[in-house]
Amino acid sequence: MEDCIFCKVIKKEIPRYKVYEDDDVLGILDINPTRHGHVLVFPKKHMKNFEDADENTLSKIMAVVKKLGLQVKEKLPAESYNVVVNNDEAAGQIIPHIHFHIIPRNEGDGLKGWPQEPYPKGMVEEVMNKLKIN
């Protein structure tokens, strides 16, 4: 895609801090990281979101996420990491090219998860029935 920042990164039209590359997948440091060592992993072929990506591509991306996640834990002062994908604008996806975030984490680092609240009475069954595939 012509205006896609990640497509420009892939073509080396925009500077990048590459931590991984193969024929199909690129891993770079996020230039505005949540934590130092925040990595972005994405396919070299333009795919807008999670649904655009075929299963083979997703499998390749996840294998790289796993490798880089291990690097984060072994090479940085990080006890763990979050793997996040923001799928479409309402979920916080800023760049319309599927990408996964690997965010280094440590106990007490101040990053919070999402707020949680229980379902109102009867609603959990309703939602389950809407989402159930088999």
Q: What's the distance, CA 98 to chain centroid?
A: 8
Find the catalytic residue in 38, 97, 99, 101: 99
Q: What's the distance, CA 26 to chain centroid?
A: 12
Q: What's the distance, CA 22 to chain centroid?
A: 18
Strands lying side by side in the sheet with 18-21:
18-21, 25-29, 39-43, 100-105, 80-84
User: Going from the N-terminus, what domains does the chain have, and what CATH number goes with each?
Assistant: 5-131 (3.30.428.10)
- Is-catalytic flag, 101? no
Percent of the chain with pLDDT over 90: 96
> CA triplet 110, 67, 108: central angle to 5 degrees?
10
Question: How much is the average pLDDT of 55-59?
Answer: 98
Give the tens place of pLDDT for each residue, 75-121.
Answer: 999 999 999 999 999 999 999 999 999 999 999 999 998 899 999 99
